[in-house]
Amino acid sequence: SSPTAHNSDYNLYRLYLVTDSTPAILGDKDICDVVDRAIQGGVTIVQYRDKTSDTGVLVSTARKLHQVTQKHHVPLLINDRVDVALAVGCEGVHLGQDDMDIATARQILGPSKCIGISANNIQEAILACEQGADYLGIGTIFSTQTKKDTKSILGLAGLKQTLESLSEKGYEHIPTVCIGGLNASNITQVMSHGSSPKNPLNGVAVVSAIMAAHDPKAASMQLSNLITESHMQN
Ligand code: TZP
Ligand code: MG
């Protein structure tokens, strides 16, 4: 069965891995091996994010990653590049505010592919829902070395406010993950103080907490367990 990232399964977004190919984070590890181990440890969805490679490398790496994620029945999304997602036939894309607009991406990818959108504030989050986003990545929550061009830091109060505004507009059914500076030392706090009972956060997205880890499987298991414990308390 081919996974879709496009359903209401609450757990689909619980531990969302965003990859990084830079030596500072990936080191000399193999990206496919890291992703395979991370899924074994509990990652539920993967976004291939690579801001430095040429298009040829993007396509070939995406193909290899898709073999890994398909083996585990986990969806693969491509950051920024609708053409690369279409070329490899993976489950969808993740688009930022400066990328292709949702309507055009939807036209190209069709109704069954997943289109996730980055939102940095309440306005962006609501607009993305109005335009048909399948899920939202809300951030930046805490400052991070991983993304140099981060806009404002939302913090936990900003995250909670965004989730509540979405529920006031009737968008609490759209899945949400948060991103930015998240790791085992702050995830429990994020799930309890950043989430809203009216619109609970579906999950957490991380880059370095898994991609830079010496043992990506163990790191993923630890994060996954913390998220499970938090869900049980809410
Ligand atoms: N978008 C907002 S922050 C960020 C992205 C892609 C990077 C998050 O990386 P890390 O290592 O999990 O802080
Ligand atoms: Mg982008």
pLDDT digits (tens, 9 = 90+) for 18-36: 999 999 999 999 999 999 9
pLDDT, residue 150, reads 77
The pair of structure tokens assigned to 117 is 């959108």
User: Is the CB of residue 19 below 6 angstroms from any atom belonging to ligand 1?
Assistant: no
CA-based nearest residue to 216, from 15, 34, 14: 34
Nearest-CA residue for atom 3 of ligand 1: 180
- CB of 206 closer than 6 angstroms to any ligand 1 atom: yes
At residue 6, the pLDDT reads 55
Q: Which two tokens stand for residue 47?
A: 């976004």
Where would I find the H helices in the chain? 23-26, 31-41, 55-71, 82-88, 102-109, 122-130, 155-168, 187-189, 208-211, 216-233
| Rounded Cα distance, 137 and 197, in Å | 18
- pLDDT band at 1; cut points 50, 70, 90: very low
Give residue 231's pLDDT band: very low, low, confident or very high (50, 70, 90).
confident
CB 154 less than 6 A from any atom of ligand 1? no
pLDDT average, residue stretch 171-195: 96
Minimum-distance ligand to the CA of 93?
Answer: 2
Q: What mean pLDDT value characterizes the chain?
A: 95
Of the candidates 129, 198, 138, the residue with the CA atom closest to the CA atom of residue 162? 138
Type of residue found at 189: Q
Q: Does 8 score more than 70 pLDDT? A: no
Whether 181 lines ligand 1, by a CB cut-off of 6 Å, is: yes
Q: How far apart are the CA of 1 and the centre of ligand 1, in A?
A: 30
d(C-alpha 221, C-alpha 210), whole Å = 10
* Residue in 21, 48, 120, 207 to alter for ligand 1 test, most ligand atoms within 8 A of Cβ: 207
Average pLDDT, integer, range 104-111: 97
How far CA 71 is from CA of 13, 32, 215, in Å, comes to 18, 12, 20
Residue pair 52/21 in contact (Cβ under 8 Å)? The answer is: yes
pLDDT value at position 151? 78
Query: To which H or E segment does residue 77 belong?
Result: strand 76-79
Distance 133 CA to ligand 2 centre (A): 14
pLDDT of residue 154: 97
pLDDT cut 70: percent of the chain above it? 96
Bond preceding residue 140 cis, omega within 30 of 0: yes
**What band does 234 get if pLDDT is binned at 50, 70 and 90?**
low
| Residues 116, 102: Cα–Cα separation, whole Å | 9
Instruction: Give residue 144 CA to ligand 1 midpoint distance, Å.
Output: 6
Return the pLDDT at 97: 95
- How many angstroms is it from 177 CA to the middle of ligand 2? 16
Alpha helices in 110-212 (DSSP H): 122-130, 155-168, 187-189, 208-211
Q: Give me the residues paired with residue 206 across strands.
A: 17
Helix/strand number for the chain, H first, E second? 10, 8
Q: Which one-letter amino acid corresponds to residue 60?
A: S
For the entire predicted model, the pTM comes to 0.96
* Active site residues per annotation: 49, 118, 147
Complex-level ipTM beyond the 0.95 threshold:
yes
> How many other CB atoms are found less than 10 A from the CB of residue 124?
18
